[in-house]
Structure 1
Amino acid sequence: MYYMHVYHSINITHLFFCTMQVFFSNELKTNTSIGQTNLKEIISRSQCRKEIFFSFELVCCKNDDKKFYKKLFSEIKDCLPLFYSLTWHNRPCLNDNYFASLETLPEFPKNTLFHLAARGLKQNIVLKILNRVLELDINLFIIRGDGNSHDGDFNYAINLIKFIKEQYNEKFCIGVAGYPNQHPESLSKEADLHYLKAKVEAGASFIITQIILESSSFINFVKDCRNYGINVPIIPLIMPILSYESFIKMTKICSLTGPQSLYNDLISLKDNTKAIQQYGIQLAINIVEDIISNHCSSIFHLCTLNNITVAVELCERISNLIAHKKMIHPLNSK
């Protein structure tokens, strides 16, 4: 079992975050080609320098609570996220031009990745959405979406990517999803790689995977992508486990599979939420350590489900680890 007690090393963590603050500030200052935060350049440079960074996936609140977001960003700022992402939430109102996640965007920093699901959207609606996103200097994460609607103009993510490139050229930096354990509707892993490469060739600059439950699935996925000629940065999505119930719900929603030992451990702890969370944090730490050791990624996207307390603790624990094991290089190293 991965469970272990929480520990803190304040001085090491503080030094790590201060170093990252200098680097992150320089990244924003030197970028000028696409808006104020070109994630393509920021991600590529951080990967080349082997610096370890976190980014955070946040869920759109149904009530668009500005106070909530203000508190959230205040609590998370010391982790110095390379970027945030905001999940897609289409909540029809009195007219079909209303999207809750789009209304939430002004509360977010510039280094934000806006999820946009292709399925069910019409071209004229997409143009309205993108014009608003462009005003905010926000980047895009294009997914197909899980709905069954066939009324839209885009059946697949690649159709929407091509449309965006045709209409806006290089004004947007675009990320897309990757599936290390094979998309549930795919015929094979090779078919997955074929369509993923097509999305990259259509204009995607980086890939964020489905939630990773074991390091080997991501490590093998990166190797397969490289062998297939997919050479853009690939970022693993890590989910701190908040409770047994939420974990099972997410595995069903996202069609996730993991080792049986993981499910056995969680079942034995399911009535102890705190123990579940500490188990999940240590599991995430082990996954991150393996990925770093195999040189597969230096950026880790955290699926927070808006539980910032657990996400911040995970960041602190990982930064302690990589500082202690000298798994990052100081900015002034040769």
Structure 2
Amino acid sequence: MKLIEAIEQHKRNFSHPFFSFEFFPPKTDQGFENLLPRVARLAQLKPLAISITWGAGGSTKERSMDLAGLTQKEYGLETLLHITCTNMVQGMVDDALREAKSRGIQNILALRGDPPRGKEEWMPVDPRFQHGVDLVSYIRSIPEFSAQFCIGVAAYPDGHPDKLVDEATELTYLKEKVDAGADFIVTQLFYDAEHFLGWVKRVRAKGITVPIIPGIMPIQTYSSFVRLIKLCGSSVPESVMEKMDSIKHDDQLVKDYGVQLAVETIQRITMDGSITGVHLSTLNLEKSVQRVLEVLQWTDANKPIHQHSQNRLIEEVKGDSARSISPSTAVDAARQGLSTLPKTDKEAGSGELNKADSWDDFPNGRFGDFKSPAFGVQDPWGNAVVITSEVLSDWGSPKSISDLTSLFLRHLQSEIATTPFSPGPLSEESQLILPHLEKLTKRGWWTVGSQPAVNGAKSEDIVLGWGPRGGYVFQKGFVEFFCGEKDVESIERKVEEKGGGWVHWFAGNWKGECRSNVPEHGKNAVTWGVFPGQEIVQTTIIERDSFLSWKEEAFSIWSTWASFHRPGSRERELLDRVRQEMWLVNVLHHDYQDHEALWRFIFED
């Protein structure tokens, strides 16, 4: 069903506004696999539609199409597939639209798209697709597509992130997209309800009458919130900033307030009935959006969400031991429309069955569980640095290895705020091991990630703490850096001869080679917490798949950085050579009770 028809149907049958969910295609196969049961569970809340994002530059188009196909055809959920102009030519647009049609998808969100990695400014590869309006016009110009698709477009209540034009011009562009054939509008997320309502009045005064669906993203962490409002240029009420600042050291309070703020925002903007639904960005997480809807009473809060389908059966693996269900079985069950899986009496391998709760408590960063549907993403832009002329100026024009060593040292010494691998200043936590990081970097081992060993710090500790108050947190020390192949060989010998079973390591290069002493399926928990009334929460692991996923991204950053320098320049040749010759190394010491164990191992002869 087309979304505008579904909206009208909802108005006739329900007294409360509709809601939709947005998901992104996970980076890893396991994450993709484990997202499916999560989507199936959230589907039990009866969203009007599911939205599937399309990565910058079309980088996730295959996974996006696969996920959208599953939600539409196998789950029976009306699916809104994002398609962007970025890196798209006419043939590619045609292929994407025809494939969407073949999968039963009837709703498209037509976007200009974000710049692909390595480009500061958006540049079209096909002059026919320079703006979102071009994509809308093209779809409407082809009878095969025009009849098939209901088209949505984006709008920006706080102004476009590029900030290239004023609001009046933005509204003119929005009117052009609607006049070209757009059926509805989905907005960028915002945190100022009153500002949004004023913007809606100005949109309507422009003669735009199609449905406006506001984008709502419950706050998950303080750091992602700060990054988000900076990148979006969002208007945030002073009262919200004051509240966030007062609770920023208690992750659970931040998540709770994120739910509260989302509820209050939705109640305010839907109060007069002119806004008839909202679009909830999940970040592939589950609990916060579920809580928002339960507080709003837009779903039956007393009805367990994890229920079996009345018309489906699940195959049980029977025997003398407890039942076990593999990740592949989880996917099969989800594809059959089941909302959950039977509980096991003991741990039954890896996957959604065992990790769902801890995956959702505190979003996974780049060292989170690679099986998590949210692996590697803390906000819509991931963890990578956004390269601008400002940061390029800070980084200078490196022409030698010593120039690069100097750049990484300047970041450690707070002379510059970022590096291509660090989106912000050195954290207070890393300051605790600063002398060690400086010593490594002066050696020519450029550090890009680390954490100190922690043995039972209070969860409310302003530097080391996380999670709810009244608990204790633990960390194993690790450090990650780039170095040459000879250094990798030296590290490997040292681990074998002096590691004594206490040290695990990974090393990888851009060619795809990987060295490690971690067993193939080994997993190293490096961050965990113990909190009142909860099981142990394990938020961070280091293992082969997560390391390899990050390794691919890390070496692509060298390519991105090089692309900002002209071909044949000394800077570009240096950065390309570094990408080809250096290795990314991660060294972990398991003795978290000895704060200096990792560093003694690394520096002692």
TM-score range, shorter chain: 0.7 to 0.9
Question: 1:86 is matched with which residue: 42, 52, 68?
Answer: 52
- 2:87 is equivalent to residue 120 of structure 1: yes
Counterpart of 2:93 in 1: which secondary structure? helix
- For residue 174 of structure 1, what is the amino acid of its counterpart? I
Q: CA deviation at 1:98?
A: 5.9
1:1-334 matches, within 5 Å, as: 37-47=1-11, 51-64=16-29, 65-89=31-55, 99-109=62-72, 110-138=77-105, 139-147=107-115, 148-153=122-127, 154-167=129-142, 168-184=145-161, 185-319=163-297
Q: Distance in 2 between matches of 1:218 and 1:47?
A: 22
Highest Rg: 1 or 2?
Answer: 2
Residue deviations 1:117-163 (CA, integer Å, cap 9, x gap): 11321111111111100111221001111212332341100011111
TM-score (norm 1): 0.79
Q: CA deviation at 1:71?
A: 1.3
1:47 Cα deviation from its structure 2 partner: 4.7
CA distance in 1, matches of 2:152, 2:57: 23
Cα distance in 1 for partners of 2:61, 2:11 equals 37
SS in 2 for 1:207: strand
Displacement of 1:92 after TM fit? 7.3
What is the deviation of 1:321?
10
Secondary structure in 1 matching 2:22: strand
Contact 1:57 1:86 (C-alpha < 8 Å) held by counterparts: yes
Matched residue SS, 1:293: coil
- Taking the aligned partners of 2:199 and 2:35, their CA distance within structure 1 comes to 34
Distance 1:222 1:130 in 2: 31
Is the Cα contact below 8 Å between 1:89 and 1:99 reproduced in 2?
no
CA contact (8 A) 1:90 1:98 kept: no
Could you say which residue in structure 1 is the equivalent of 2:479?
Answer: none
Are 1:69 and 1:107, in contact at CA under 8 Å, matched by a contact in 2?
no
CA 255–137 in structure 1, closer or farther in 2 if over 3 Å, else same: farther
Shift of 1:196: 0.5
Tell me: CA distance 1:198–1:44, structure 2 relative to 1, closer, same or farther (3 Å).
Answer: farther
Match in the other structure for 2:426: none
Aligned residues with identical type, % of pairs: 32
How far residue 318 of structure 1 moved from its aligned partner, in angstroms, is: 1.1
Q: 1:297 to 1:77 in 2, by over 3 A?
A: same
2:292 & 2:15 partners in 1: Cα distance? 20
Write out per-residue CA displacement over residues 71-105 of structure 1, whole angstroms, 9 at most, x where no aligned residue.
Answer: 11232123210001011125778xxx963312332
Structure 1 SS opposite 2:91: helix
Of Structure 1 and Structure 2, the greater helix share is in 1
User: What residue ranges of structure 1 are gaps of 5+ in the alignment?
Assistant: 1-36, 324-334
**Distance change >3 Å, CA 98–CA 286, structure 1 → 2:** closer
Aligned residue-pair number: 284
Q: Show structure 2 runs of 5+ residues with no match.
A: 116-121, 302-605
Task: Tell me: CA distance 1:78–1:321, structure 2 relative to 1, closer, same or farther (3 Å).
Answer: closer
* Worse-matched range after superposition: 135-144 or 230-239: 135-144
Distance 1:236 1:98 in 2: 25
Sort the Cα spacing of 1:307 and 1:321 in 2 relative to 1 into closer, same or farther, 3 A. closer
Q: Deviations 1:259-296 (Å, cap 9, x if unpaired)?
A: 23322221221111110011111111111111121323
Cα distance in 1 between the residues matched to 2:263 and 2:152: 25
Q: Is the deviation greater in 151-160 or in 260-269?
A: 260-269
CA distance in 2, matches of 1:60, 1:271: 30
When normalised by structure 2's length, the TM-score is 0.44
**2: distance between equivalents of 1:183 and 1:98?**
24
Q: Is the 8 A contact 1:242 1:277 kept in 2?
A: yes
* 1:320–1:151 CA distance, 2 compared to 1 (3 A): closer
For residue 54 of structure 1, what is the amino acid of its counterpart? F
Q: 1:298 deviation in Å?
A: 2.1
Question: Which stretches of structure 1, 4 residues or longer, exceed 6 Å deviation after superposition?
Answer: 320-323
Contact 2:85-2:132 within 8 A present in 1 as well: yes
Closer, same or farther: CA 216–121 of 1 in aligned 2, 3 Å: same
Q: Is the 8 A contact 1:47 1:233 kept in 2?
A: no
Q: Are the counterparts in 1 of residues 293 and 299 from structure 2 also a CA contact under 8 Å?
A: no
Matches of 1:213 and 1:98, distance apart in 2? 30
Q: Name the SS of the counterpart of 1:313 in structure 2.
A: helix
Which structure has more relative contact order (CA 8 Å, sep 6+)? It is 1
